[in-house]
Homo-oligomer: A and B are copies of this chain.
Amino acid sequence: MARVIVVEDDFEIRHLVAETLARQGHDVESAATAMEGLQLVVGTSPDLVILDLGLPDLDGSELLRMIRAVSQVPVVVITAREGDESVVRTLDAGADDYLVKPFSVAQLEARVRAVLRRAESGRRDGPIVIGGLVVDPSAREASLDGRPLDLSPKEFDLLRVLAERVGEVVSKRELMAEVWREPYGGSERSVDVHLSWLRKKLGESAQKPRYLRTVHGVGVKLVDPAS
């Protein structure tokens, strides 16, 4: 799932945290000292750092500052230091969350999920590629073999829904629910017509389909012709 580095000198806690995150499916590496931790961070560009403030060789807040000088990687601090002043200073030094020992494993997991979720939400979900077909939901445009397709709203939405579930058969009922939104009294004929137009624009026919394969009595599915 994500690459995580744990920097913590206490053997028991280090392993507890590492085990916990590994069990969540993360790829975890550990360091017991600040120097070791810094090397791992700059060397492996992780997705998340778990950092103890009380390290033997260098104070954790110093390490945090050094990490921030070279990287925007999310950092969750775990420490025995209570008190507002430490929290404020640490967060302002660039930490993303601050957890006081002893903490529960469940809460650590939840806070790690929250931080990772936020860090990853920045990246926009890119276009979907199926053979020579490209569907880009956020730009709301599609292209076939490099040539842009000029699709109407309904046509695009149908294609998008099918592209988001490549290879899966989608019933007309579902398509209507997804594309038309809210209880709709229209007939399913409408779906047929739009699919027909879509096929025409994709340069294929119902008899010789390439991308849009209809499954009699069930629905339609979008497939990669090269498979």
Residues of A whose CB lies within 8 Å of any CB of B are: 72, 74, 84-85, 87-88, 91-92, 94-97, 104, 106-107, 109-111, 113-115, 117-119, 121-122, 124, 138-140, 152-153, 167-169, 215-218, 221
A96 touches B114 (CB 8 A): yes
Q: Which chain B positions have C-beta within 8 A of A168?
A: 124, 138-139
Whether A114 pairs with B139 at a CB distance below 8 angstroms is no
Q: How many angstroms between the C-alpha atoms of A72 and B104 in the bound complex?
A: 27
Number of chain copies forming the complex = 2
Are the CB atoms of B96 and A110 closer together than 8 Å? Answer: no
Most buried by B among A91, A115, A216: A91
On whether A84 and B96 interact (CB within 8 A), knowing A215-B140, A218-B153, the answer reads: no
Whether B74 lies near A92 (C-beta < 8 A) is no
Tell me which residues across on chain B come within 8 A of A111, comparing CB atoms.
91
Q: Are A169 and B88 in contact (CB under 8 A)?
A: no
